[in-house]
Amino acid sequence: MIRVSVYYPAGEGTTFDLDYYKAKHAEIVMRVLGCDKFEIDKAISGPNMAVGHLYFSSMDALQAGMAGADAGEAAADVINFTNVEPVIQIAELVG
């Protein structure tokens, strides 16, 4: 299983619309990238406002989703809910 974690760093002047992220962005991500599951962490404390976790069955599935014709739609939607540059980590779940 592959997990793509998208971190949205907190800081002075940063914004994040969690309602939009849950209602609109999550649907776009699921539709255009074809991930198996999408989870959202709402920060209570720490360096991030929120984290999105996308799960794929394999690296091939992730690469296919990222290469899809509509994949750019998810990236283009970021400006609709935050003013920060997301930090992305790709991991293989091993335990």
CB neighbour list of residue 52: distance below 8 Å, 6 or more residues apart: 5, 6, 8, 21, 25, 26, 29, 38, 39, 40, 41
Q: Is 92 helix (H, G, I), strand (E, B) or coil?
A: strand
Instruction: Write the pLDDT tens digit of every residue in 28-53.
Output: 999 999 999 999 999 999 999 999 99
Its pTM stands at: 0.94
pLDDT band for 89, please (50, 70, 90 cuts): very high
What are the boundaries of each domain within the chain?
Answer: 2-92
Q: Which CATH number fits domain 2-92: 3.40.50.1820, 3.50.50.60, 3.60.21.10, 3.30.70.100?
A: 3.30.70.100
For the chain, give the percent of residues with pLDDT over 90: 96
